[in-house]
Amino acid sequence: MQLRTPICDLFGIDYPIVLAGMGGASGPELAAAVSNAGGLGVLGAAACPPDELDEWIRRTRSLTDRPFGVDTLLPASVPDNLDGAPRSSSTSGGGGVGGGGSLIPPEVLEARDRFMDEVGLPRRKKNPAAPAAPKPPRMLLVRDFFDAQLEVVLDNKVPVYVAGLGVPPPDFMAKGRQHGMKFMGVAGQARHVAKLAQAGVDAIVAQGTDGGGHNSPIGTLALIPQAVDAAGSVPVLGAGGIGDGRGIAAAFMLGAVGVWVGTRFLATPEANIPSYQKLVLVASTDRDTMVSRSATGKPARMIRAKWGELYERGEIAALPMPLQGIVATPVMASAIANQRADVFAGFAGQGVGLVNEITPAGQVFDRLVEEATALLDGVATLPGVTASRKART
């Protein structure tokens, strides 16, 4: 049997397997590897400033001539910008990228700095002898930033755009359609699926709570069939905890016609995450993740670590997006620079226990296709399952 669904014709790909747009982690190398293997590679561009996004798209095009996508966030509830918000005077840069320091209660910054000291995480101190560094743009994770990203997506006529949060605006979709672009949205609840379907997207990703990153309260097994019902005629891709052919086959049984796979592609040489995080993924089991607002202000599934646990214990309250990101950035940046997996080890889904080695993305992809095909081939003869109807005796 051939693993083919309407998603393949929609996106011009060989197999209905899509690399999840994972912010920062799904860079050009990983996206191109998945597209070259016959799937759809999607760039995780959530925090990519417009210039960098432009470069990423060019680089992807230099690595593959197959279709690919770009995923950014379009949250409904963020300010247009943080202009006029003076920076905090905190020693470790409470204002951080994007400013907004004065909107953050000083006690939150103090608690964060105390945490860094307690866990022995170096804080970036200002060096008076160093030349002044250029100021980062004051627009991270606010409306102006997201709009500027969409401009880049349109200018580059990216084959597929995915809204990781929120709904792609109608005028953006109308312009994109003139260039033959396709549109998707990610949803974690049936009512969000219905909203995306109504907005006219071409396909919808239904991501359950099992998945890594921004998170739904609904389990994948329960969500997919309800999402399929809510989507009407719009095709649904299942996501969240899908890490091998069994997950793909199960998603198809639930009514999905494609899958959106994230965590499984993180332990690959192509994934754009630090090596220490790849080793943590390989060592982690099904119990090693937690859902926390500590990174972005929205619930996100991540590898269990001390920064998330601080919020779990209620020692600091998480702020809304984008302010929580400003609080968390110095912690996450220092944890990454110092390879402190005990403090922050990145985002991952509950399927992380299926990740047992670091393998090139093309091989991971081929294995997913082989496993799913073999299982779906045998559907009529599942071990222990009799599918034929018998008359009652």
Q: Token pair of 122, please?
A: 């170096």
Cis peptide before 225 (omega within 30 of 0): no
The two most distant CA atoms of the chain are separated, in Å, by 90
- Which is nearest to 10 in space by CA: 207, 203, 205? 203
CB 186 within 8 A of CB 213: no
Closest CB to ligand FMN among residues 156, 209? 209
Closest CB to ligand FMN among residues 113, 146? 146
Residue from 23, 49, 50, 95 binding ligand FMN (CB under 6 A): 23
Query: DSSP 3-state assignment of 385?
Result: coil
What number of helices (H) and strands (E) belong to the chain?
Answer: 13, 11
**Site for ligand FMN contains 241 (CB under 6 A):** yes
Rounded-to-integer distance, Cα 30 and Cα 359, Å: 12
DSSP element (H, E) containing 69: strand 68-73
- Which is nearest to 157 in space by CA: 61, 78, 279? 61
Closest CB to ligand FMN among residues 49, 213? 213
Choose the stretch contacting ligand FMN; rule: CB under 6 A; options: 115-123, 130-138, 227-235, 237-245. Answer: 237-245
Residue from 41, 213, 322, 330 binding ligand FMN (CB under 6 A): 213
CB 109 within 8 A of CB 116: no
Rounded-to-integer distance, Cα 238 and Cα 256, Å: 6
**Site for ligand FMN contains 164 (CB under 6 A):** yes
Query: DSSP 3-state assignment of 364?
Result: helix
Which residues are registered as beta bridge partners of 70? 43, 161
Tell me the per-residue interface mask from 169 to 208 with ligand FMN, x by CB under 6 A, - otherwise: -----------------x--------------------x-
Tell me the per-residue interface mask from 289 to 318 with ligand FMN, x by CB under 6 A, - otherwise: ------------------------------
Residue from 69, 211, 297, 308 binding ligand FMN (CB under 6 A): 211
Choose the stretch contacting ligand FMN; rule: CB under 6 A; options: 95-103, 126-134, 234-242, 327-335. Answer: 234-242
Closest CB to ligand FMN among residues 21, 41? 21
CB 16 within 8 A of CB 8: yes
Beta strand segments in 232-305, E: 236-239, 258-261, 289-292, 300-303
Rounded-to-integer distance, Cα 313 and Cα 308, Å: 9
Rounded-to-integer distance, Cα 313 and Cα 300, Å: 16
Choose the stretch contacting ligand FMN; rule: CB under 6 A; options: 113-121, 142-150, 239-247, 336-344. Answer: 239-247
Q: Tell me the site size for ligand FMN, rule CB under 6 A.
A: 30
Q: What is the DSSP letter of 316?
A: S
**Site for ligand FMN contains 258 (CB under 6 A):** no
Residue from 20, 139, 203, 318 binding ligand FMN (CB under 6 A): 20
DSSP string, 148-190: HHHHHHHHTT-SEEEEEES---HHHHHHHHHTT-EEEEEESSH
Minimal distance, residue 228 CB to ligand FMN, in Å: 17
Choose the stretch contacting ligand FMN; rule: CB under 6 A; options: 15-23, 103-111, 332-340, 365-373. Answer: 15-23
Minimal distance, residue 211 CB to ligand FMN, in Å: 3
Minimal distance, residue 243 CB to ligand FMN, in Å: 7
Residue from 18, 46, 153, 323 binding ligand FMN (CB under 6 A): 46
Closest CB to ligand FMN among residues 245, 262? 262
Q: What is the DSSP letter of 104?
A: S
**Site for ligand FMN contains 25 (CB under 6 A):** yes
Residue from 28, 41, 50, 262 binding ligand FMN (CB under 6 A): 262
Closest CB to ligand FMN among residues 265, 311? 265
Which residues are registered as beta bridge partners of 73? 165
Residue from 88, 263, 292, 329 binding ligand FMN (CB under 6 A): 263
Contacts to ligand FMN by CB under 6 A:
20-23, 25, 44, 46, 71, 164, 186, 207, 210-214, 239-242, 260-264, 346-349, 351
